[in-house]
Amino acid sequence: MTQTIAVAFTGASGMPYGMRLVDCLLAAGCRVWLLYSQVAQVVARQEMGIELPSRPAEVQAMLRARFKDEDGRLQVFGREEWFAPPASGSNPPDAMVVCPCTMGTLAAIAAGLAQNLIERAADVAIKEGRKLVLVPRETPLSVIHLENMLRLARMGVVILPPSPGFYNHPRSVDDLVDFVVARILDQLGVAHALQPRWGAATDE
């Protein structure tokens, strides 16, 4: 059965994590519903030199080409597209990931504000008991940040900071990105071969 995963890009640093995650989900045969904020467009340009258009249909065409999504499993929705599937508990995704996740988005989700499609989709995931993974990129963390994270963790939300390990001896930034994306995929139950498993036999 094909998994449907909603992925949201917000304005935190860490766009390479989000892009790599979408790439891996599509490669694994998942259906991806992509949501993105206006500030995410700025971050994509600054960190990756990617110009995300303002129109979701144009972003969809661009990313389908980028990820070679010939089957049309990637769908992109605008932040005010209230008739999009993830806006309703009658058609929720199997899981949702906000990657990267700003502290503002995290706070809004913790408060149940649901003022745009990203926040509403996360609200739906929580109320419908679906897996919700937040990848917050901020440092240092204030008491406000930590209390919001604790509040969400008590609801069953997975708080997964992008903190790559070094025990696999990464040789590039891509290796560090893959470490974090591998942890996200593990939370989603999506098979991958991005990193060797701890204690697994290697050829080295």
Does the annotation list 10 as a binding residue? no
CA distance 6 to 22: 10
CA distance 164 to 150: 21
Alpha helices in 6-91 (DSSP H): 15-27, 38-48, 56-66
Map residue 54 onto helix, strand or coil.
Answer: coil
List the chain domain ranges.
4-188
Does the annotation list 11 as a binding residue? yes
Does the annotation list 20 as a binding residue? no
Ranking 9-18, 112-121, 195-204 by mean pLDDT, the lowest is 195-204
Contact call for residues 79 and 118 (beta carbons, < 8 A) = yes
Does the annotation list 103 as a binding residue? yes
Does the annotation list 156 as a binding residue? no
Does the annotation list 44 as a binding residue? no
Question: How confident is the model at residue 202, as a pLDDT?
Answer: 57
Assigned CATH class of 4-188: alpha beta
Report the candidate in 10, 56, 61, 6 with the shortest Cα–Cα distance to residue 31: 6
Map residue 43 onto helix, strand or coil.
Answer: helix
Contact call for residues 73 and 60 (beta carbons, < 8 A) = no
Summarised one tens digit per residue, pLDDT across range 88-144 is 999 999 999 999 999 999 999 999 999 999 999 999 999 999 999 999 999 999 999
Output DSSP code: residue 191: -
Average pLDDT over residues 35-47: 97
Rg over alpha carbons for the chain, rounded to the nearest Å, is 16
* pTM listed for this prediction: 0.96
Does the annotation list 64 as a binding residue? no
Does the annotation list 202 as a binding residue? no
Strands (DSSP E) found in the chain? 4-9, 31-36, 74-77, 95-101, 131-136, 158-159
Question: How confident is the model at residue 1, as a pLDDT?
Answer: 81
Does the annotation list 13 as a binding residue? yes
Contact call for residues 117 and 87 (beta carbons, < 8 A) = yes
Does the annotation list 17 as a binding residue? no
Contact call for residues 95 and 3 (beta carbons, < 8 A) = yes
Share of the chain above pLDDT 90, in %: 94
- Residue 36: how many CB atoms within 10 A of its CB? 26
Q: What are the structure tokens assigned to 173, written together? A: 């930034």
